[in-house]
Amino acid sequence: APSGDPLTQAVQIPPHRDPDVPLLLAALLSPTRERRPSAAQTLAHPAFAAPGQRMRKEALRQAVEVDSRLAQLLGEREEIERERRRLSARERALDEQQAARHRELDRKAQALREEEAKVQIACFSFPPHWSAAAGMQPEAALSLVHVTDRGVRAALQACMEGTGIGEGGRDQRLPGRYSKLVLQEAWRVENPGLMQGYQGAQRRVMALEGKVGASLMKEKIRPELYRSAADLPWELQKSCGEVRLLHG
Question: How far is it, in rounded angstroms, from Cα 10 to Cα 98?
Answer: 76
Q: What is the DSSP letter of 227?
A: H
List own/partner pairs for 232-235 with CB under 8 A and 24 or more apart. Answer: 232/152, 232/155, 232/156, 232/159, 233/127, 233/128, 233/129, 233/152, 234/127, 234/128, 234/129
Can you give the pLDDT at residue 44? 77
Can you give the pLDDT at residue 119? 64
Contact indicator for 222, 162 with CB cutoff of 8 Å? yes
**pLDDT, mean of each 10-residue run, the chain (248 residues):** 46 64 82 81 74 66 83 90 90 90 90 74 72 60 86 88 60 68 88 83 75 62 79 80 76
Can you give the pLDDT at residue 153? 92
Can you give the pLDDT at residue 180? 75
Can you give the pLDDT at residue 185? 92
What's the chain's average pLDDT?
Answer: 76
